[in-house]
Structure 1
Amino acid sequence: METKILKPDQIDEAAKLIRAGELVAFPTETVYGLGADATNESAVKQVYQAKGRPSDNPLIVHVADIATVEHFADTLSAEAHKLMDAFWPGSLTMIFKLKPNVLSPAVTGGLSTAAFRFPNNQTTLNLIKTSGKPMVGPSANTSGKPSPTTAQHVYHDLKGKIAAILDDGPTEVGVESTVLDMSTDQPAILRPGAVTKDQIEAVIGKPVMDELHHVGVDEVPKAPGMKYKHYAPNAQVYIVDPDDSWKDVNQWVKDNQSSDPIGVMAFDKDLKSVDWANNIEKISLGTDVQDASHNLFNELRAFDDQPEYKTIFVQGVAPVGLGEAYMNRLNKSAGQMHFKQL
């Protein structure tokens, strides 16, 4: 299969492919998603095949209006409407109980709930409206690998496996949306993202749980990213925590005298403060957590294109605000491995 690269002025062609049951990768403000008609079970199943994604990992349904959510969801509470008013379109995904038999188990993972998002990207909203179809949209990458923040990342992973990629340039946020479970008595964050716990609580005026549950082997996760390894490059990532010294990292590299090159991803101030060993390749994550979140997946992928790199040290931050989402992704990339463990 030839994978076409389409531009925003080719929405009609992309929409025709979606209506025909084909797969089209699309941009959002967070990462690129892999789109298929959410009401076409055959198309949805192709998403799992293209990504190599486990079939019990439910998909997020992307919409361009609230009426579509109301069509599928059993009920939408006053709190849900407040959150929609505050954060849609945007980086908040919400899980609702469904009306009976409105979506295929291929979308829901066999659960009685589904996740919905109204993305803040006009090109993709145009695609949904023009196709007339809500779209499933997991990240448009090989399952388990760093999420794609450019059309080129998508093409690297999925060329020949999908019909087209709708290229709208690099994404803005760089980490996936916050996933909030609204199907329970107390809302719970299942995946942190750019919309924070404090922001959500300020809107609904009640506490929100941080869901720390680890999904069991035989259990179906309610949201993407809860059960399987995610965001991992081929090299082993080690997190350099805020109280670690980058000079100690540099010394560790010198002491181990490895012939393999070593990757370092850190803030500008730390990169400038160390006289680095010759076999270290330095990549800037910017100046703050917002920059780091935007750059994380892109730079992990840069090292993935260079198989000689077997070890990467990456800047850790305090898990506060956007830092919680950043550290969630980084911990999964590293398999919870930290420099302190070496």
Structure 2
Amino acid sequence: MKTEVLDASIEVSYDIAAKSLLQDELVAFPTETVYGLGAIATSEQAVAKIFAAKGRPSDNPLIVHVASISQVEQYVTTIPDNARKAMEAFWPGALTVVLPAKQGVFPPNVTAGLSTVGLRVPNHPVARKLLEKVAAPIAAPSSNRSGKPSPTSAAHVVQDLQGVIPYIVDGGETAIGVESTVVDFTVTPPAILRPGGVTEEMLRECLGDVASARLAHQSDAPKAPGMKYAHYAPDAPVFLVHEDRTRVVTALHSAKSQGHKVALIAPSSFADVGADVFMDAGESVDSFAARVFSLFRACNASDASVILVTVPERAGVGEALFNRIEKAAAGKWWVS
């Protein structure tokens, strides 16, 4: 299959992408978080192609993107007051709400056979225009091979899915860089299933009490993406290290003494600590989050045999960032 990259600044690109989606094909497109791999959410045949393209486990549910809050009522049995309040506060935006799904609306490969569905209204002009063009809900996980770093540019999608999907809409680099926050509103208090661009602090200010994120046990059926399986990993093994200059230097010396060529992903102030490959995460948690997946992919292009990542303060979007790098490292810290 030939993969064509469409320019989001050209009107005909949306006509081509929408026609492809409505013919049960896949289209990758940007959202404000990462690039999504879209299929019409009510088509079991189209959704099956997402799982085949990504190599995604079948018990991992998909997030469904819709154009507006008013559309949600078409797809769920009830919207609790706190869910509506969150939607009004954070939509369009990086919040996915898990609600009880109406029977027979979405095929079981969207919900992973669960009675719930995750929905969000994206806050990106390309995604919103595409939703308007197709006038249908779009299921769209990140457009990468399953388990690999999420794509934050069209070039990243090309790296993973060239020859696998027909179209990629190039809308430039994404702004937030980590996926949406997923909140389950079928429980009390609402539970954060995956931290993301809408922080726990923002949710608490809006809703009051919320339960913090946890990983799903291996025997559980995950209610949201990213709860159970290894994610976000570059090719070389990743290890966490405290964001402390002495500890980073010690870890670098230890890794090099074992014959490793070391890539270090860390704030700009760590550029001079002696890593073989230094990946600049900027000087703020927001910049780190926006760059982390791109930096993982840059490590793949280097000859590093091990990757060390400094752990940021776990406040605000730092919690989502920690969630992603901890999964990339499979929870491993470098021990000198």
TM-score normalised to structure 1 length: 0.94
Counterpart code for 1:289: V
Judge conservation of contact 2:32–2:174 (CA < 8 Å) in 1: yes
Judge conservation of contact 2:231–2:327 (CA < 8 Å) in 1: yes
Counterpart code for 1:288: S
State the distance in 1 between where 2:294 and 2:215 align: 29
Query: How much does 1:246 deviate?
Result: 2.1
Asked whether 1:16 is paired with 2:1, we answer: no
Partner deviation per Cα, 1:314-339 (whole Å, 9 max, x = no partner) = 12112111110000000000011112
Partner deviation per Cα, 1:84-111 (whole Å, 9 max, x = no partner) = 1110011111100012221110100000
Alignment of 1:122-137 (within 5 A): 122-137=125-140
Aligned to 1:338: 333
State the distance in 2 between where 1:292 and 1:213 align: 23
State the distance in 2 between where 1:185 and 1:283 align: 41
Query: How much does 1:128 deviate?
Result: 0.7
Alignment counterpart, residue 123 of structure 2, candidates 120, 123, 135: 120
Alignment of 1:220-259 (within 5 A): 220-243=221-244, 245-256=247-258, 258=259
State the distance in 2 between where 1:135 and 1:117 align: 10
State the distance in 2 between where 1:282 and 1:201 align: 37
State the distance in 1 between where 2:218 and 2:307 align: 29
Alignment of 1:138-287 (within 5 A): 138-204=141-207, 206-217=208-219, 219-243=220-244, 245-256=247-258, 258=259, 260-272=260-272, 274=273, 276=274, 280-287=276-283
What number of residue pairs does the alignment pair up?
Answer: 332
Give ranges in structure 2 of 5+ residues lacking alignment: none
Aligned to 1:209, what secondary structure does the other structure show?
Answer: coil
Aligned to 2:60: 57
Aligned to 1:210, what secondary structure does the other structure show?
Answer: coil
State the distance in 1 between where 2:288 and 2:107 align: 37
Q: 1:301–1:254: structure 2 CA closer, same or farther, 3 Å change rule?
A: closer
Judge conservation of contact 2:277–2:304 (CA < 8 Å) in 1: no
State the distance in 2 between where 1:122 and 1:49 align: 28
Counterpart code for 2:328: S
State the distance in 2 between where 1:193 and 1:254 align: 34
Alignment counterpart, residue 75 of structure 1, candidates 46, 62, 78: 78
State the distance in 2 between where 1:5 and 1:27 align: 12
State the distance in 2 between where 1:178 and 1:186 align: 16
Aligned to 1:328: 323
State the distance in 2 between where 1:187 and 1:213 align: 16
State the distance in 1 between where 2:176 and 2:109 align: 28
Counterpart code for 2:191: A
Partner deviation per Cα, 1:259-291 (whole Å, 9 max, x = no partner) = x5221111111223x2x16xx111111011111
Counterpart code for 1:5: V
Aligned to 1:313: 308
State the distance in 2 between where 1:245 and 1:285 align: 18
Judge conservation of contact 2:252–2:262 (CA < 8 Å) in 1: no
Partner deviation per Cα, 1:64-84 (whole Å, 9 max, x = no partner) = 111221100111122122111
State the distance in 2 between where 1:150 and 1:13 align: 20
Counterpart code for 1:14: A
Identity %: 43
Asked whether 1:301 is paired with 2:297, we answer: yes
Query: How much does 1:309 deviate?
Result: 2.1
State the distance in 2 between where 1:185 and 1:322 align: 24
State the distance in 2 between where 1:235 and 1:81 align: 43
State the distance in 2 between where 1:85 and 1:214 align: 28
Query: How much does 1:254 deviate?
Result: 4.4
State the distance in 1 between where 2:238 and 2:256 align: 18
Query: How much does 1:215 deviate?
Result: 2.4
Asked whether 1:33 is paired with 2:28, we answer: no
State the distance in 1 between where 2:205 and 2:24 align: 41
Counterpart code for 2:249: K
State the distance in 2 between where 1:288 and 1:147 align: 20
Query: How much does 1:213 deviate?
Result: 4.6
